[in-house]
Amino acid sequence: MSDDAPQAGAGAPAGAISKELLIINKRGLHARASAKFVQAVERFNAQVWVTRGGETVGGTSIMGLMMLAAGPGTTITVAAAGTDAEAALAAITELVESKFNEEGV
């Protein structure tokens, strides 16, 4: 299965879609990046979960996201469920792939 194909993620309910994303920004999922992640999630009618190394946190928890310690080169699994799950997953993918829109990274 390709990395682009949505699939069920660990820690997410049945029916959720998920995608593995590589953290490529210079500082990883730090406070500012986590805040941007949460802001992106909150725009949608969807529940989002993020998993790294067997630990799953809610996508609306800045502290939870930071506790994953997802540094550069880390792969996270983002899962979403709800009316806007696909749109939420697409927006999060764009945010991560754009290095959280951080200058100089």
d(CA 84, CA 103): 29
The label of the residue with tokens 């749109």 reads 87
Per-residue pLDDT tens digits for 27-72 = 999 999 999 999 999 999 999 999 999 999 999 999 999 999 999 9
**What confidence category does residue 5 fall into, taking pLDDT thresholds of 50, 70 and 90?**
very low
- Give the residue-averaged pLDDT of 70-95: 97
Residue 88 confidence (pLDDT): 98
Q: Is 96 a catalytic residue?
A: no
pTM metric for this prediction: 0.86
- Give the residue-averaged pLDDT of 65-91: 97
- Selecting from 3.10.180.10, 3.30.1490.390, 3.30.1340.10, 3.30.750.24, what CATH number does the domain 17-99 have? 3.30.1340.10
Catalytic position from the list 7, 11, 27, 30:
30
∠ CA 78-83-85 to the nearest 5 degrees? 15
Strands (E) located in the chain:
17-22, 47-52, 55-58, 75-81
Residue 2 confidence (pLDDT): 37
